[in-house]
Chain A
Amino acid sequence: MEKQEALIEYCLRLGDNSLILGHRISEWCGHGPILEEDIALTNIALDLVGQARTLLTYAGEVEGKGRTEDDLAYLRQVREYRNCLLLEQENGDFARTIVRQFLFDSYHVPFLEALRSSTDTTLAAFAEKSLKEATYHLRHSSEWMIRLGDGTEESKTRVQGALNELWMYSGELFETDEVESVLQKEKIAPNMDAIKKTWTTNVAGILELATLTQPEAGWMQSGGRTGKHSELLGYILAELQYVQRSYPGCEW
């Protein structure tokens, strides 16, 4: 695989992670359990969509066929999306949304820390910028994990249930294939082993504070990064792409 092809794919993977999670959280807008949380979740969604814009724009530039961030966000088919399966999972209740966010944020922070040293200056600048945002996200989701886990019997049952269900989607965040190995050789992409180690330590630490039980290591779901998605992504795109599909080229 050529470096250029790998870099496009890599940017789409990272960009789609942010885009799809950002879209999912934006579904909370106007439905948050309390006003402050409604605002917090939509702020986080805004950061993620902003990050997606940078990455999809860059993917289009590297590709060099004139595709913009909008073309990539609104006009690809479901199998062309490269986000991890975790991020397309449904919001469910607030506990489930927080668990999904916590598993992702715990990966996102050490990942961006490492990406800051990328030899690709655009990715390094992107990482430096986004890390400031992701740090706030991680603090938010970690605090909620503790509050819900160490809260009432009801909140604990819900958050533990969500953790048990979503755990099998956490492994995909750290997968690597030819795309990563080509870019790792050029020191564009960071090595995932150290990031996984940080994730494991931090997640275990927060779960302990939250008096939650870490699910046992087991079989992990996989496929989103190569375009094999659950049916959930189709429903997301039906909403996300509706305007551009119905009124092609529409602007406002």
Chain B
Amino acid sequence: MVATNDNILSLLENVMDPEVPVLSILDLGIVRKVDAENNTIVITPTYSGCPAMQTIEDDIRKILADNGLENITIETTLTPAWTTDWLSESGRKKLREYGIAPPVGTSKDKNVLFGDEKQVSCPQCRSGNTKLISQFGSTACKALYKCEDCLEPFDYFKCI
């Protein structure tokens, strides 16, 4: 395969987040730059301690190598800091179908210490009658909620 930006992007579409395997790293917005001319891809972590970053880097390298693209440098940048605003529309839809409620609102209103709790819809029955169980869920990027109507517990992708 010829190393063009479009070719690389189409390959990256197939690299999934190891913790939310329905989302590609493009859906997640963690690929910040593809520069085929200089053989560079720039990615950014969702959270400082995200243990998936190494796996993602390895997966990128593997899929490129499998398609004959080697010697590509993968750089990690912290700036600008990743925000859930970069999650694509198709990413949000895939999350909901997978049973994870996508982030509500934009990252602008996240800094309030005891702000109004946002209304998160249940990804199973779509009811808005849900309750926060814990700000911290199965991975750094998720919180735990429970639906008061269908009684299903579910993950919410935190807005940051």
Contacts and interface: CB of A to CB of B under 8 A. Distances in A.
Interface of A: 36-37, 39-40, 43-44, 46-51, 53-54, 121-122, 124-126, 128-130, 132-133, 135-136, 138-140, 142-143
Interface of B: 45, 47-51, 77-83, 107, 110-111, 113-114, 133-138, 140, 144, 158, 160
Contacts of B136: 36, 39-40, 43-44, 136, 140
B79 A53 contact: no
Contacts of A40: 134-136
Contacts, number: 82
Contacts of A124: 79
Given A43-B137, A129-B81, A133-B140, 19 more contacts: A39-B134, A39-B137, A40-B136, A46-B47, A46-B49, A47-B140, A50-B47, A121-B79, A128-B79, A129-B48, A129-B78, A129-B79, A132-B81, A133-B160, A135-B111, A138-B113, A139-B135, A142-B113, A143-B114
27 contacts: A36-B136, A36-B144, A39-B136, A39-B137, A43-B136, A43-B140, A46-B49, A46-B140, A50-B48, A53-B48, A122-B78, A124-B79, A125-B77, A125-B79, A125-B81, A128-B78, A129-B45, A129-B78, A132-B81, A132-B160, A133-B48, A133-B160, A135-B110, A136-B135, A136-B160, A138-B113, A139-B114
B96 to A, nearest CB: 23
Contacts of B111: 135
In terms of DSSP, what is the predominant structure of the interface of chain B? loop
A51 B78 CA distance: 11
B48 A51 contact: yes
Contacts of A48: 49
B103 to A, nearest CB: 12
A36 B133 CA distance: 8
Contacts of B134: 36-37, 39-40
List 3 A-B pairs, minimum CB-CB distance, nearest first.
Answer: A50-B49, A50-B48, A125-B79
Contacts of B110: 132, 135
